[in-house]
Structure 1
Amino acid sequence: MRMRSVVVFLGLMFGVLVQAVAQSGGTPLKVAIAGDAPPYVINNATSGLEVDIVREALPGYSVQFEQMGFAETAPALEQGKVQAAVNVMKKDDGLFYSNNMISFANYAITKATDKMKIDSIADLAGKKVITWQGGPMDLGPEFEKMYGPNGTQRQNIIQAPTAPDLVAQFWKMKDVVAVVDMELFKHLSNKMGHKMDQVNLFPIFVPITDFRVGFRDQKVRDDFNSGLAKLCSSGRYQELLKKYDVVQKENICK
Structure 2
Amino acid sequence: MNSSQWLIICSILISALSFGKLAVADVLDVSVGWTKPPYVIEQGDTGFELDMVKAIFALLGHDLRFVYVPFGRSDSLLKTYKVDAALTMNRRMDLAGAVLSEPYITYHNTAISLKSRKLIIPSISALENYAVIGFQNASLVLGMEYRLATASSPLYIELPDQQKQVELLLQGKVDVVVMDINIFNHLSKAVVGQDQMPNVSVHNLFPASPYRIAFRDPDLKEAFNLKMVQFKRSAAYQTLLNKYEFLQ
Query: TM-score, normalising length from structure 1?
Result: 0.72
Greater CA deviation, 191-200 or 115-124?
A: 191-200
The count of residues paired between Structure 1 and Structure 2 equals: 224
Deviation digits for residues 114-133 of structure 1 (CA, Å, limit 9, x no counterpart): 55321110101254433333
Deviation digits for residues 88-126 of structure 1 (CA, Å, limit 9, x no counterpart): 222474221111112222210123455532111010125
CA contact (8 A) 2:34 2:42 kept: no
Deviation digits for residues 147-179 of structure 1 (CA, Å, limit 9, x no counterpart): 6xxxx5599543333544543555567224211
Q: Distance in 1 between matches of 2:90 and 2:110?
A: 19
Q: Distance in 2 between matches of 1:73 and 1:32?
A: 6
Corresponding residue number in structure 1 for 2:119 = 116
Q: Distance in 2 between matches of 1:25 and 1:155?
A: 58
CA contact (8 A) 2:129 2:154 kept: no
Change (3 A) 1:164 1:212: farther
The Cα of 1:222 is off from its aligned counterpart by 2.0
CA contact (8 A) 1:129 1:158 kept: yes
The Cα of 1:32 is off from its aligned counterpart by 1.9
* Structure 1 spans left out of the alignment, 5+ residues: 1-17, 249-254
* Structure 2 spans left out of the alignment, 5+ residues: 1-16
Corresponding residue number in structure 1 for 2:10 = none
Change (3 A) 1:185 1:88: same
CA contact (8 A) 2:131 2:153 kept: no
Question: Partner of 1:175: helix, strand, or coil?
Answer: coil
Q: Distance in 2 between matches of 1:154 and 1:111?
A: 18
Greater CA deviation, 60-69 or 192-201?
A: 192-201
Corresponding residue number in structure 2 for 1:252 = none
Question: Partner of 1:180: helix, strand, or coil?
Answer: strand
Corresponding residue number in structure 1 for 2:128 = 125
Corresponding residue number in structure 2 for 1:233 = 233
Question: Partner of 1:103: helix, strand, or coil?
Answer: strand
CA contact (8 A) 2:132 2:153 kept: no
Question: Partner of 2:46: helix, strand, or coil?
Answer: coil
Query: TM-score, normalising length from structure 2?
Result: 0.73
The Cα of 1:206 is off from its aligned counterpart by 2.4
Change (3 A) 1:23 1:188: farther
Change (3 A) 1:34 1:87: same
Q: Distance in 1 between matches of 2:82 and 2:170?
A: 35
Matches within 5 A, 1:34-113: 34-42=33-41, 44=43, 46-59=45-58, 60-78=61-79, 80-91=81-92, 93=95, 94-112=97-115
Q: What RMSD in Å do the two structures reach over aligned CA positions?
A: 3.3
User: Which one-letter code corresponds to 1:103 in the other structure?
Assistant: T
Question: Partner of 1:131: helix, strand, or coil?
Answer: strand
Q: Distance in 2 between matches of 1:72 and 1:156?
A: 29
Change (3 A) 1:234 1:111: closer
Corresponding residue number in structure 2 for 1:199 = 200
Q: For the pair shown, which has the larger CA radius of gyration, 1 or 2?
A: 2
Deviation digits for residues 43-76 of structure 1 (CA, Å, limit 9, x no counterpart): 5252221011111111222211122334444554
User: Which one-letter code corresponds to 2:105 in the other structure?
Assistant: I
User: Which one-letter code corresponds to 1:222 in the other structure?
Assistant: E
Question: Partner of 2:107: helix, strand, or coil?
Answer: coil
